[in-house]
Amino acid sequence: AQSVAQPEDQVNVAEGNPLTVKCTYSVSGNPYLFWYVQYPNRGLQFLLKYITGDNLVKGSYGFEAEFNKSQTSFHLKKPSALVSDSALYFCAVRDSVGNTGFQKLVFGTGTRLLVSP
Amino acid sequence: EPEVTQTPSHQVTQMGQEVILRCVPISNHLYFYWYRQILGQKVEFLVSFYNNEISEKSEIFDDQFSVERPDGSNFTLKIRSTKLEDSAMYFCASQWGLAGVDEQYFGPGTRLTVT
């Protein structure tokens, strides 16, 4: 089965500094990878995805992620953090069989990002 | 921008009672999902639904759970006899595409508390 791991429970960064939230994956076949963000008392909001193509994927709110096949990683990055980026970030991988439309997502345990002023 | 909506936002029920959680997916989407998140834990897949049928379900989705799309807009999750361990945030999600590469759009969730 597909899986993702987020090794850090929490990441602390000062506003204006670059941030990285780590994710590694384990898949059979081609990985379909996603990042979602969860603000307090809100649902999951899609940030970006990697399906194929360029290893650097750009997403919402200035976030980007770098797909690295050799290291089986898909780290989320932002050049300059904002206090408003403070939230819970989830990495996810598609875990569905074959070339179907169904897309069961398997989520990581989440990383809390805390951006200090 | 279209969004997935869920009602109620919070449901408190007694153990053994039936609950129905409601979702209105984005109108032109074809695939529908329920996930749950027990407090402090990761988001877990429950069930996927397409063309009025369950396409896949997890081990969590036992006989106490059922899903339905009673009309063209609503998508419901029913728990027939709730248990304490069913307390969680339940998220509905919808997806448009047929290729399985489109992102899912999640609703704000229903917090279910079983006492």
The SS3 of residue B9 is coil
Given pLDDT bands bounded at 50, 70 and 90, which one contains residue A43?
A: confident
Instruction: Give me the residue from A41, A96, A109 closest to B100, CB to CB.
Output: A96
For residues B111 and B94, what is the distance between their CA atoms, to the nearest angstrom?
19
B96 close contact with A: CB closer than 8 A? no
Taking only residues 25 to 64 of chain B, the set having a beta carbon closer than 8 angstroms to any beta carbon of chain A reads 30-31, 33, 35, 41-45, 48, 50, 55-56, 58
Neighbours of B71 (CB within 10 A): 7
Q: What is the mean pLDDT of residues A36-48?
A: 89
Peptide bond into B8 cis (omega under 30): yes
Task: Tell me the pLDDT tens digit for each residue of A58-74.
Answer: 999 999 999 999 999 99
pLDDT(B91) > 70? yes
In which region does residue B9 sit, left (phi positive, over 0), alpha (psi from -120 to 50) or beta (all else)? alpha
Verify whether the Cβ–Cβ distance B42 to A109 is below 8 Å.
yes
Please give the residue of chain A at the shortest CA–CA distance from B100: A101
Task: Tell me the pLDDT tens digit for each residue of B1-55.
Answer: 788 999 999 999 999 999 999 999 999 898 999 999 998 888 999 999 988 899 8
Q: What's the N-to-C CA distance of chain A in angstroms?
A: 41
Tokens representing B80? 């027939």
Give the pLDDT confidence score for residue A6 in this predicted structure: 97
Instruction: Give me the residue from A43, A90, A100 closest to B100, CB to CB.
Output: A100
Which amino acid belongs to residue A65?
Answer: A
Q: What is the mean pLDDT of residues B66-93?
A: 94
Verify whether the Cβ–Cβ distance B4 to A90 is below 8 Å.
no
User: B41 to chain A: which residues are within 8 Å by CB?
Assistant: 109
B4 close contact with A: CB closer than 8 A? yes
Using alpha carbons only, give the angle B81, B4, B6 rounded to the nearest 5 degrees. 35
DSSP string, A19-66: EEE--EEE-SSS--EEEEEE-TT--EEEEEEESSS-SEEE-GGG-EEE
Neighbours of A117 (CB within 10 A): 7
pLDDT over 90, % of chain A = 76
Given pLDDT bands bounded at 50, 70 and 90, which one contains residue A78?
A: very high
